[in-house]
Amino acid sequence: GNLEEDGTCRDAYTGTDEVVTAVCLKQYANVTAEPAIDSQGREEVALFDISDILSWNRTQMGEWWYWEGKERFPCHDKGDCLAHLPMAFHKYEPQYFYDFEKEFYGYVTKAKKNDASLFISDNGSLASRNWPNFDMTYQYLQRVR
């Protein structure tokens, strides 16, 4: 690999800290790191905005670092490539996590249509905010619930 991914266990303040952590886990604990994906190849850890990942098409985008080393699954070209039991969402400001909580743990589903703290889409769907790429993102959030 390159200087960042040289196969050694060490303190690494790089963009590839997951690779270095995997090397250390193997070297010192005999634990082999596995991709954080479900059986359909959907990501259990979102590194980008979920509305973006849900719409990505690997063939149209071409190969770049996000796809590097990943086994190809049908969802990579069809979309909906986020696990329905996600472990983590990265790249969000703290206020978004309050909205995720509302979406996942029922506040939105129990609210009244006149609740001013919620967003109501054109088709009458209640959500904690006007999510980017609303229809696709809203459908994903419903599946996660």
In sequence order, what are the residues at sequence separation of 6 or more whose Cβ sits closer than 8 angstroms to the Cβ of residue 114? none
Tokens of residue 64, six digits: 């770049």
In sequence order, what are the residues at sequence separation of 6 or more whose Cβ sits closer than 8 angstroms to the Cβ of residue 47? 53, 66, 90, 91
Arithmetic mean of pLDDT, 11-22: 78
- Model confidence at 1, pLDDT cuts 50, 70, 90, reads very low
The lowest-confidence range among 26-30, 36-40, 100-104 is 100-104
Q: What SS3 class is residue 43?
A: strand
Say if residue 31 is exposed, middle or buried (CB neighbours under 10 Å; 0-12, 13-18, 19+). exposed
pLDDT per position as a tens digit, 33-48: 998 999 999 999 998 9
